[in-house]
């Protein structure tokens, strides 16, 4: 089968012992059924992806900075960045437990008690527990402070009533990091509490939502008189907003560091595959300026990520600056996806296998990219944060 992939170039993309270790492991373990640059009739099943993620952790490519006593590898953000560069360069499937590893884990380490840390964290890395994030609600998407899901204290614990939506992976999760309101809706940032809710609790109903790309990752989740034990509360009551803000800051700034290198991998794949066919190459040449701009934007996103890592290693806080990489990546990647889709849509009939693989990958990227300027805080929210909290601009009259 004719195929084209940056991972087969033969050498790691970056220097560093940890990058070389990551590259070698991925080269040996990322089989064709898992690769997103292969157009196969039978891609990897959910169980295969879960086993791959668990093996990835055992190989030292997940939980890199987490303490060893909680199942991590006890290394620094430097090794985390090295590994993520190689993860980005590889045509990897989306992580099944990204919410657990990138959001729930860091917040549990920040506000959880010792029992919660020793119980939840190793189970996240071993893939025994998959987590979802119960933040967004109908009518309170990016405006998190408008959420209405209610938590009331009872003799048995906390009674939860409400609805969450766009909850990624809820149908296959065993735990939900749930943000609920203990006070009045008018209190906005006050009276919010965070829970680690078992998804098997009576009163929880999960409905999958089919997205434009045919996936069923998004869900809506209903809580009807769900009783949650006091021991499942993360942090103190009424401090949920501070915990949630910390989660979102982490999400926008340091998680998924691989995105810039994944973007580069997609761009390299597009160019390499088009070069395998004269007609496709001629089509691509018509987009030279746009693709050159994509290359520039990839380098700028890399610069954002590497600067944030340097600052964190120097002990600085990221705070609202996390909005910059999220805003820039999602807008740039969406533009690239549009260009790539236009190119592959013009391929002539009877394209070779490399072009079929490319077209399948780019069509999927185009469809999924439509949500990138919405999730993890919309473009409008990021611009608002930058205007108010970094530039100190006042609202227009």
In a domain, 273, yes or no: yes
Identify whether 7 is part of a domain: no
Q: How many CB atoms are closer than 10 A to CB 96?
A: 21
- What total of structural domains would you count in the chain? 3
Same domain for 379 and 265?
Answer: yes
Query: Looking at the structure, do residues 293 and 335 belong to the same domain, yes or no?
Result: yes
Query: Could you list the pLDDT tens digit for every one of the 397 residues in the chain?
Result: 455 555 555 455 556 889 999 999 999 999 999 999 988 888 899 999 999 999 999 999 999 999 999 999 999 989 999 999 999 999 998 899 999 998 899 889 888 999 999 999 999 999 999 999 998 898 776 667 778 999 999 999 999 999 999 899 999 999 999 999 987 777 777 788 899 999 999 999 999 998 887 888 899 999 999 999 999 999 887 777 777 666 666 555 567 789 999 999 999 999 999 999 999 999 999 999 999 999 999 999 999 889 988 888 888 877 788 888 889 999 999 999 999 999 999 998 888 999 999 999 999 999 999 989 987 778 998 899 899 989 999 877 6
Q: What's the CATH code of the domain at 140?
A: 2.40.110.10
Q: Which residue, of 93, 126, 159, is where some domain finishes? A: 126
Q: Looking at the structure, do residues 30 and 155 belong to the same domain, yes or no?
A: no
Asked, for residue 9, whether it belongs to a domain, the answer is: no
Q: Which range marks the domain in which residue 46 is found?
A: 16-126
Domain final residue, candidates 126, 149, 184: 126
C-alpha of 23 from chain center = 21
Instruction: Clarify whether residues 266 and 375 are in a common domain.
Output: yes
242 within domain boundaries: no
Give the position of tokens 């967004």. 136
- Whether residues 46 and 142 share a domain: the answer is no
User: Any idea which residue has 């729930």 for tokens?
Assistant: 104
Do residues 6 and 273 lie in contact, with contact meaning Cβ atoms separated by under 8 Å?
no
Query: 4 lies in a domain?
Result: no
* Gyration radius (Cα) of the chain, Å: 22
Query: Which own/partner contact pairs does 116-124 have at CB distance under 8 Å and 24+ positions apart?
Result: 116/196, 116/234, 117/70, 118/69, 118/70, 120/175, 120/196, 121/66, 121/70, 121/71, 121/72, 122/70, 122/71, 124/63, 124/71, 124/97, 124/100
204 and 306 assigned to the same domain = no
Contact by Cβ (8 Å): 229, 198: no
Is the pTM for the entire model greater than 0.75? Answer: yes
Contact 337, 301 (CB under 8 A): no
Question: Sign of dihedral through CA atoms 81, 85, 90, 93?
Answer: positive
Three-state DSSP state, 268: helix
Looking at 66, 96, 126, the residue that finishes a domain is 126
150 forms beta bridges with 161, 181
Is 215 in the same domain as 339? no
């Amino acid at each position: 089968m004719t195929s084209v992939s940056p991972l087969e170039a033969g050498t790691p993309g970056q220097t560093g012992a940890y990058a070389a270790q990551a590259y070698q492991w991925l080269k040996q373990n990322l089989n064709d059924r898992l690769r997103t640059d292969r157009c196969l009739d039978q891609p990897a099943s959910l169980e295969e992806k879960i086993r791959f993620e668990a093996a990835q952790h055992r190989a030292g490519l997940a939980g890199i900075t987490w303490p060893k006593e909680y199942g991590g590898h006890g290394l620094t953000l430097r090794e985390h960045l090295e590994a993520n560069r190689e993860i980005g360069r590889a045509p990897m499937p989306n992580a099944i437990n990204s919410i657990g590893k990138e959001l729930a884990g860091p917040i549990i380490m920040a506000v959880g008690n010792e029992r919660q840390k020793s119980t939840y964290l190793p189970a996240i890395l071993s893939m025994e527990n998959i987590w979802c994030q119960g933040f967004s609600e109908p009518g309170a998407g990016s405006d998190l402070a408008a959420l209405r899901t209610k938590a009331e204290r009872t003799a048995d614990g906390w009674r939860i009533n409400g609805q969450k939506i766009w909850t990624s992976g809820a149908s296959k999760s065993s735990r939900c990091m749930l943000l609920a309101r203990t006070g009045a809706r008018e209190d906005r940032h006050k009276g919010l509490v965070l829970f680690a809710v078992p998804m098997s609790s009576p009163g929880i109903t999960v409905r999958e939502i089919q997205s434009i790309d045919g996936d069923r990752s998004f869900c809506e989740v209903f809580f009807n008189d769900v009783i949650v034990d006091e021991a499942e509360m993360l942090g103190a009551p009424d401090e949920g907003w501070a915990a949630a803000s910390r989660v979102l800051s982490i999400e926008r700034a340091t998680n998924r560091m691989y995105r810039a290198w994944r973007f580069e991998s997609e761009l390299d794949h597009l160019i390499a595959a088009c070069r395998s066919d004269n007609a496709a190459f001629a089509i691509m040449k018509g987009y030279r300026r746009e693709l050159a701009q994509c290359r520039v934007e990839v380098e700028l996103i890399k610069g954002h990520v590497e600067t944030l890592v340097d600052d964190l290693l120097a002990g600085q806080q990221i705070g609202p600056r996390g909005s910059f990489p999220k805003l820039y990546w999602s807008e740039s990647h969406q533009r690239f996806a549009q260009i790539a889709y236009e190119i592959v849509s013009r391929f002539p009939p009877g394209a070779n296998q490399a072009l079929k693989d490319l077209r399948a990958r780019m069509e999927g990227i185009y469809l999924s990219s439509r949500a990138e300027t919405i999730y993890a805080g919309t473009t409008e929210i990021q611009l608002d944060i930058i205007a108010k909290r970094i530039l100190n601009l006042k609202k227009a009259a």
